[in-house]
Amino acid sequence: MSNTLNLTLNIWRQDGPNGPGRFETYKAPGIPEDASFLEMLDLVNEELIAQGKVPVEFPHDCREGICGSCGVMINGQAHGPERGTATCQLHMRKFSDGDTIDVEPWRAAAFPVIRDLVVDRSPLDAIIEAGGYISAPTGTAQDANETPIPKEVADSAMDAAACIGCGACVAACPNSAAQLFTAAKVWHLNSLPQGQPERYRRAQNMVETMELFFGSCTNHGECSEACPKEISQDFIAYLNRDHMKAKFFNRKLASQR
């Protein structure tokens, strides 16, 4: 049996997108330090149900840091205090007995609250839909080894592709910008030989869609700090470069000027 903590939680409760929200305070005694943050919320919910109170809705699924479902603001920090860690992999041993913890949903105009700690992140899918793919219909592919890709290129693409789409970058950004999310996908695809034909239209379309929902990037760098996969802010520079080039070289636009 592990050591236990006695905690006080201020949890954001909100019945729906249009309802008013409020913090409610719950005592959470006897929380094992080996529990994950989400298992701590499970224990709080079990207690609420036992008392006949409606449990707290919070986003979660795989609980191993890869699906990107989970994510709450913990004491004002997206995914909490541990670097490179999604909420589900944050364990209570990182907290101390007697702590008070504020738990809030992601805060961004593009992510309206659905209920309690759950928000709607569908604008991220809209960005992918705008160009976050390589057009390679099933059946058209050549042998995979026909296109050698230098290991450094593949590794760098993978560093960007590791994004789990949790939205912490947006939640951490003072402008609620989604540059890091967008840049990660753009760089993953634009750095690879397969991604070259659609390179500039991809950058342009994804940025334009992004700007329909999200704020502007002013290089605070909070996004990379909050990212559970520690995706580098450098990718935003690559995104800006490709987006700028797209503006200059977009052949479709050239004929319309």
* Contact set for other proteins, span 178-197 (CB under 8 A): 188-189, 192, 194-195
Q: According to the binding rule CB under 8 A, does residue 162 interact with other proteins?
A: yes
Cβ-based nearer residue to other proteins, 39 or 102:
39
Binding residues for other proteins restricted to 54-93, rule: CB under 8 A: 54-55, 57, 59-69, 82, 84-85, 89-91, 93
Cβ-based nearer residue to other proteins, 83 or 216:
83
150 residue type, one letter = P
Binder to other proteins among 27, 49, 83, 241 (CB under 8 A)? 49
Q: According to the binding rule CB under 8 A, does residue 36 interact with other proteins?
A: yes
CB–CB of 176/234 below 8 Å?
no
- With 0-12 CB in 10 A as exposed, 13-18 as middle and 19+ as buried, what is 188? buried
Cβ-based nearer residue to other proteins, 66 or 220:
66
Least separation, in Å, of the C-beta of 204 and other proteins? Answer: 14
Least separation, in Å, of the C-beta of 232 and other proteins? Answer: 15
Q: According to the binding rule CB under 8 A, does residue 50 interact with other proteins?
A: yes
Least separation, in Å, of the C-beta of 257 and other proteins? Answer: 26
Least separation, in Å, of the C-beta of 165 and other proteins? Answer: 6
- With 0-12 CB in 10 A as exposed, 13-18 as middle and 19+ as buried, what is 86? buried
CA atoms within 13 A on the CB side of 104: 17
Helix axis angle for 179-190 and 151-161, nearest 10°, is 150
Cβ-based nearer residue to other proteins, 79 or 243:
79
Which helix (H) or strand (E) segment holds residue 206: the answer is: helix 199-213
- Which of these, 14, 247, 253, lies nearest to 120 by C-alpha position? 14
Which helix (H) or strand (E) segment holds residue 158: the answer is: helix 151-161
CB–CB of 38/65 below 8 Å?
no
Binding residues for other proteins restricted to 192-221, rule: CB under 8 A: 192, 194-195
CA atoms within 13 A on the CB side of 180: 32
Binding residues for other proteins restricted to 114-143, rule: CB under 8 A: 114-115, 118, 120-122, 124-125, 128-130, 132-143
# binding residues, other proteins (CB under 8 A):
82
Residue 83 to residue 158: CA distance in whole angstroms? 20
